[in-house]
């Protein structure tokens, strides 16, 4: 939709008025701009073979709790042209199974070190910023494939996971996503695209 100035206004991506630091789990998808395959490829066995850039993205993600006390990381996958993850700021009792990290966040807005409590938009913004800077270094110093304007698309997609069933369904989606790429690339497969 165009405003009076002729500028295209984007629809907000987040749920209006929702506090994204609340005790829920969140499923996110972050895509590379123009869906370039920069982070790896899916092998015939359905396993991701990461490029050094993909390994960097994975290591940055795994380090996020070090800089964001209270952040809980669950399942994630670095795909050739996008990234899926489950994360949250929740009571560890909500999570079943093995989590990759779990620390408890103080209930007030300020953490003991005086920093503001992290929320989903700030986590994704920091993740995208760190990986973009490190990817740029890889282009200059290690010959990684360059991109045109931005490494990541402007926004990201999220879903609030409000119960165990939803959490388990999205864990399964992340686990099977690489295999879906193989199935989708097979012309004999008539199933709809799921990634």
Q: In whole angstroms, what is the distance from residue 79 CA to residue 65 CA? A: 21
What CATH code would you report for 25-184? Answer: 3.30.70.1290
List, for residues 3-41, the tens digit of each pLDDT value. Answer: 455 554 444 455 566 666 667 789 999 999 999 999 999
Enumerate the domain spans of the chain. 25-184
Residue (of 151, 152, 130, 135) closest to 53 by Cα position: 135
Strand ranges in the chain using DSSP code E only, listed in sequence order: 25-31, 40-42, 48-50, 72-78, 82-88, 157-161
The pTM for the full model equals 0.76
Within a 13 Å sphere around the CA of 89, how many CA atoms are in the beta-carbon half? 21
List, for residues 81-106, the tens digit of each pLDDT value. Answer: 999 999 988 544 444 444 444 443 34
């Amino acid at each position: 939709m165009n405003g009076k100035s002729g500028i295209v206004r984007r629809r907000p991506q987040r749920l209006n008025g929702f506090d994204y630091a609340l005790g829920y789990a969140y499923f996110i998808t972050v895509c590379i701009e123009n869906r370039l395959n920069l982070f790896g490829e899916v092998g015939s066995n359905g396993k991701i073979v990461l490029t050094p850039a993909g390994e960097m993205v994975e290591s940055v993600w795994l380090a996020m709790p070090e800089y964001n006390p209270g952040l809980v990381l669950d399942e994630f996958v670095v795909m050739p042209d996008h990234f899926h993850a489950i994360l949250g700021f929740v009571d560890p009792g909500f999570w079943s199974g093995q989590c990759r990290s779990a620390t408890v966040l103080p209930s007030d807005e300020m953490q003991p070190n005086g920093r503001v409590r992290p929320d989903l938009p700030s986590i994704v913004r920091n993740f995208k910023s760190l990986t973009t800077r490190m990817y740029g270094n890889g282009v200059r110093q290690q010959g990684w494939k360059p991109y045109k304007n931005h490494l990541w698309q402007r926004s990201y997609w999220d879903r609030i996971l409000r119960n165990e069933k939803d959490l388990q369904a999205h864990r399964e989606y992340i686990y099977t996503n690489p295999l879906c790429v193989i199935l989708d690339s097979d012309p004999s497969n008539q199933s709809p695209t799921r990634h």
